[in-house]
Structure 1
Amino acid sequence: MKNKLRFLPISLLLFFVSNQTILAQAKNNYSTRIDSLIQTTSVRPFNGNVLITQNGKTKYSKAYGYSDYAKKTPLKLSDHFVILSNSKQITAVLILQEVEKGKIVLNTPIKKYLPNLKQPWASTVTVENLLNHTSGIVDLEKPTAFPVGTQFKYTDLNYILLGQIIERVTNKTYEAVVNELFKVNKMKDSFFPNATNQKKIVNGREYFKNNTTKEIQGIVVPKERIPAAGLVSTVKDLALWNSLLHNGKLLNEATYSRMTTYSITNQHPVFGDTAIGYGYGIRVNDKTKIKEFGHTGIVPDQGFTSVNLYYPETKTSIIVLENQTFENFDITYYFEAKIREIVLKSGLLKK
């Protein structure tokens, strides 16, 4: 290339160099565009942390807004957020690790592990049905909403039961098991919230349609629901989690493949209008050119929103954690969807 460039007319050489610069800028303009986006308030304000990593290197990071709204305390990238339904894939991994030990069989009815369940469905709903939300369970005292395994119905109740199964087969509390997982994998800023550590968590905030707000301190998610929607982490620890999960550090290849394979589909606004696959606590988008894994999370009463996305071909993570929620669901994931869109169009995910 150097020899060819030496003999090019200076005008063509400058044109070539200029084009390469423009292309490079176009590929990297996601930082400027995200910066500009999160400062807008026309749809709603943004308040949270954003982290984009690729191959373990930070490509974009920003803490924007407050950890304590009343005191106007600025957020830091190291701040702790409730990660809501992104807790589900962590619970799914704990289940699958017990599968690898031979203590759980995925196609076994949950009655084996939770013998106190009284409903007839306990003898037909399997562990796998809980993992991919095909159980049809809507209430512990009621029949299933549809024949087991035939439809998708998202509910925290599935993962509440999975948390109980983990406790049953390990003879430990879910809290002890998940904290050990974090410790072993050096996720030093992730934990099961309790009375002792919940002060580390940033305050949440709920916006109502009548333009009033409520600031939330501490954990309001019931303890039994935490395996489904209440674990605590940071953007950096979730990037580490993605690297561990999707690169063979938490599960063997066959188990991971089963976790990320789907038999059921469902649509979610962050991922577009097309229904995509749902594996075990993780959405699988193989309907586009760039394969995508991810999950979302919201608990309005807790005042937090979370999105965690991973692109295996380039080992890229996009993590957005907000300590606010909106009664108007249509705008809940506005910034998360826009950030995803910006990155997908930037060229960062192209090999």
Structure 2
Amino acid sequence: MRVLLRAITMTASACIAFSTAGCAWLGPRPAPLDAARFAPIDHAIGSVIAERRMPGAVFHLERAGMAYQKAYGSYSYEKGAAAVTPATVFDAASLTKIVATAPSVMLLAEEGRIALDAPLVRYLPECAGQGRDPITVRHLLTHTSGLPAGLPATPGWHGLARALELACSRTPTDPPGTAFRYSDVNYILLGELVRRVSGQPLDRFARQRIFTPLGMRDSRFVPLAALEAARIAPTQRLAGDGLRLLQGEVHDPTARRMDGVAGSAGLFTTAADLARFARMLLAGGELDGVRVLSRDSVRLMTTAQTGPAIVAQRGMGMDIDSPFARPRGKLFPLGSYGHTGFTGCILWIDPASGTFYVLLSNRVYPDDRNNILDLYARLGTLSAEAVNGFDFAALHKTNPAR
């Protein structure tokens, strides 16, 4: 297991120890994180690995310039499998929606090239009819379009054109804006929206406008074009394909049929890259003097935009309070936000305390049968317990979760 305990920026106080023994925080104020609280995090993750519910993971917890990052386990359960390191690249699955697709849409909205409350058919006219005309860009971003959750797998299909044809033929089961349903179809359509409006495929647009400006050096779609497979954690062995191992090839079947680039899935990344993305959001859209998103775009992505008639609270991308908000745990307040990925990934951010944590894992190895949802909730609680000098209880009294 590899561990890194460090200061992100040089401030009046600095974390100077680089070991599991603890962190010596020097300065006039208490350490932002309590190093004594890291051991329960290690135990929670280590227990899931020991139960063979995931072979390996990287965890990153950060607040106010102090970070705890640790790698656990191996790439697989096979003897001699490579150990996971902090630099291991993981298939981030649905984190694609909040790290690539939603920010890309917001950038185009900032430039006046997309209107968030405009109907989808203004940009994708082939989606007209069968109750789809009232669907707006906002409905897609907040999963309130009424569209079903996914595209059919049979009969077999391949390619962007066929994916768009299928997505535009889905019939809403609820009037747009009246109900929440988490749907990959929404973000497949948004990925195509980015391509139509910008003239660039989503992967290229996100790389040029988000990943490169933020210094997210290992974040990309179709990573084998630039990265060695040995750096990428494997996901699943495909039973119907001679047990072919997915390593550097997207796990999500729909994104795989779309050649690895979809608005719903396809991003590969590292914990360090996601930490940079989280710092940018906490700083209102800017990092290291480089502005990536406007403050208003960050606000729209990270605060409730679903309206009072819908119980689930979602931003234009981020989950805030829905059945999928397990990573909030018991202490982070309503107003914290984030997302999960099917392969076993979390990004969760609490702006009130200035804290965020990342989990990247390959829990779908080898057969997509493992469940680590209990770990999601546990890590949210343990991460909040490691925050020093912040009264989460007071926030819960003034802003209780629905």
Q: TM-score range by the shorter chain?
A: 0.7 to 0.9
**Equivalent pairs, count:** 309
1:123 alignment partner, SS class: coil
Which residue does the alignment assign to 1:52? 61
Asked if the contact 1:277–1:284 (Cα under 8 Å) also holds between the matched residues in 2, the reply is yes
Matching residue of 2:383: 343
The one-letter code matched in structure 2 to 1:74 is A
Task: Output the amino acid matched with 1:102.
Answer: G
Partner amino acid, structure 2, of 1:100: E
Range with greater deviation from structure 2 (48-57 or 117-126) = 117-126
Q: CA deviation at 1:50?
A: 0.6
Deviation, structure 1 residue 206: 6.9
Equivalent AA in structure 2 for residue 258 of structure 1: L
**Kept in 2: contact 1:207–1:327 (CA 8 A):** no
Asked if the contact 1:38–1:46 (Cα under 8 Å) also holds between the matched residues in 2, the reply is: no
Give the AA of the match of 2:192: Q
Corresponding position of 2:273: 237
What is the CA–CA distance in structure 1 between the aligned matches of 2:147 and 2:389, rounded to whole Å? Answer: 38
- Unaligned runs of at least 5 residues, structure 2: 1-29, 149-166, 287-291, 322-327, 392-402
Instruction: Using the TM superposition, give the Cα deviation of residue 182 of structure 1 relative to its aligned residue in structure 2, in angstroms.
Output: 0.7
Q: Deviations over 1:300-345 (max 9, x none)?
A: xxxx21011111123222100111227557x332323212111223
Q: Which amino acid aligns with 1:203?
A: P
Q: Which residue pairs with 1:186 in the alignment?
A: 215
Hey, what does 1:107 align to over in structure 2? 117
Specify the SS of the correspondent of 1:175: helix
Shift of 1:105: 0.2
Q: Distance in 2 between matches of 1:154 and 1:294?
A: 14
Aligned to 2:176: 148
Q: Read off the aligned partner of 1:177 and give its amino acid letter.
A: F
Q: Which residue in 1 is equivalent to 2:304?
A: 262
Instruction: Report the Cα offset of residue 78 of structure 1.
Output: 0.8
3-state SS of paired residue (2:380): helix
Measured in 1, the distance between the counterparts of 2:121 and 2:77 equals 46
Q: 1:28 aligns with which of 25, 35, 47?
A: 35
Aligned mates of 1:313, 1:76 — CA distance in 2: 30
Q: Does 1:312 align with 2:321?
A: no
Query: Could you say which residue in structure 2 is the equivalent of 1:301?
Result: none
Distance 1:349 1:78, change over 3 A: farther
Q: What code does the residue aligned with 2:378 have? A: K
Distance across 1 between alignment mates of 2:275 and 2:123: 33
2:77 paired with 1:77: no
Are 2:193 and 1:165 aligned? yes
Q: What SS does the aligned partner of 1:74 have? A: coil
Larger fraction in helix: 1
RMSD in angstroms over aligned alpha carbons?
A: 3.0
Where do 1:216-295 residues align within 5 Å? 216-220=246-250, 221-222=255-256, 223=259, 226-248=262-284, 249=286, 250-264=292-306, 277-285=313-321, 290=333, 291-295=335-339
Change (3 A) 1:197 1:69: farther
Match of 1:4? none
- 1:218 is displaced (CA, Å) by 3.0
The one-letter amino acid paired with 1:191 is: R
2:162 is matched with which residue?
none
Are the structure 2 counterparts of residues 55 and 163 from structure 1 closer, same or farther at C-alpha, using a change threshold of 3 Å? same
Structure 1 residue 69: Cα displacement? 4.5
Deviation at 1:45, TM superposition (A): 4.9
- 1:66-104 deviation per Cα after TM superposition (whole angstroms, max 9, x unaligned): 125544100110111111111111211110111110000
Partner of 1:322 in structure 2?
361
Shift of 1:42: 5.0
Provide the C-alpha distance between the structure 1 equivalents of 2:189 and 2:296, rounded to a whole number of angstroms.
24
Question: Tell me, what secondary structure is at the counterpart of 2:203?
Answer: helix
Change in Cα spacing, 1:292 to 1:43, as seen in structure 2 (3 Å) is farther
CA deviation after TM superposition for structure 1 residue 33, in Å: 1.0
Q: Which residue of 2 aligns with 1:297?
A: 341
> Partners of 2:125 and 2:174 in 1: how far apart?
22
**In structure 2, distance between residues paired with 1:224 and 1:111:** 25
Is 1:333 aligned to 2:377, yes or no? no
Mark the structure with the bigger radius of gyration.
1
TM-score w.r.t. the length of structure 1 is 0.78
Identity among equivalent positions (%) equals: 26
Q: What amino acid is aligned across from residue 183 of structure 1 in structure 2? A: T
Give, in whole Å, the separation in 1 of the partners of 2:244 and 2:385: 36
> Contact between 1:316 and 1:349, CA under 8 Å: does it hold in 2?
no
Against the structure 1 CA distance between its residues 316 and 127, is the aligned structure 2 distance closer, same or farther, given a 3 Å change threshold? same
Q: Find the aligned partners of 2:171 and 2:262 in 1 and give their Cα distance.
A: 24
- Secondary structure of residue in 2 paired with 1:318: strand
SS in 1 for 2:360: strand
Question: Is 2:235 the partner of 1:204?
Answer: yes
1:92 alignment partner in structure 2: 102
Structure 1 residues 115, 293: CA separation in 2 closer, same or farther (over 3 Å shift)?
A: same
Letter in 2 for 1:201: I
Tell me, what secondary structure is at the counterpart of 1:143?
Answer: coil
Once the two structures are superposed, residues 179-212 of structure 1 have per-residue CA deviations (whole angstroms, 9 ceiling, x without a partner) of: 112112211111122551363422114799xxxx
Aligned: 1:63 with 2:63: no
Q: Name which of structure 1's ranges 213-222 and 338-347 shifts more when overlaid on structure 2.
A: 213-222
CA distance in 2, matches of 1:214, 1:338: 33
**SS of equivalent to 2:75:** strand
Q: CA deviation at 1:219?
A: 1.3
Instruction: Check conservation: 2:143, 2:182, Cα contact below 8 A.
Output: yes
Q: Distance in 2 between matches of 1:47 and 1:349?
A: 32
